[in-house]
Homo-oligomer: A and B are copies of this chain.
């Protein structure tokens, strides 16, 4: 069976780390067909569109998409692409690796972020000169779909349960619906949960990151709190993510385009390559995913390392070392 993979490197170091991830995928005994698409600032400059229709269609029809990074146009690219793959959950592991400097080395969390609504559903109005509004949408159905995924995730990965993070003391109807629906689904599935307010979570995760493992939350909370966890593990540089839909998914490093080092061939490909591991796991090849993760972790620990981790290796050196360890 051939898996069609859309490859959208985007801007900046996306152009360097995405090919590295493809190179790793090519060493596996899996039949992939890669199709490249354009997106981001450069295409916008050329064509006036940050996300050309062909690229949207490519992601919407491929079995999975590897995305790199986009610059100023990030929101115009990534939000429609999440929609293109019909993604309802953004899976964001934030894990500190041995040997890598981290503010909180005990951090090992996975965020399951609602990926379609909240303030992202984007109904805004400028009502008067003075007043602008945004309609934040929460549905029972999206909350239920996320919670069902969370329950499966907890079972598949042998977790004890999950923590729901929300701000239902202020957003009583919307986050109340989210919280109650998630709790109901967990109950139905016999999964244990607890809940923490979003602000309290921000304090506690700094103080005791090992108190949390799977965190289920609305869209913006997931955006901000996973970036907070990224700070605790030492930066966005090593974080992968998966935008999961029922039939397809989009996999992307959490880091951006890193304009300061783009073009120099020294970008750290680890996050893109772990995202590729999430991609093959999504397609059902758990052993291959585990093998990639192991090769990346060994390389992080033993080197070679790119300059962001204090080494002087190139993207290619690191990619080769990972391929060799597979």
Contacts and interface: CB of A to CB of B under 8 A. Distances in A.
Contacts of A202: 202, 224-225, 227-228, 230-231
Contacts of A167: 119, 220, 223
A123 to B, nearest CB: 9
A235 B220 contact: no
Most chain B beta-carbon contacts within 10 A, residue among A119, A120, A234: A119
Contacts of A130: 139-141
Contact of A74 (B104, B169, B198, B227): B169
- Copy tally for this chain in the complex stands at 2
Interface residues of A, number: 54
A171 B228 contact: no
Contacts of A132: 137-139, 173-174, 176-177
A177 B202 CA distance: 26
Contacts of A137: 131-133
B174 A199 contact: no
Contacts of A133: 135-138, 173-174
A47 interface: no
B206 A232 contact: yes
A134 interface: yes
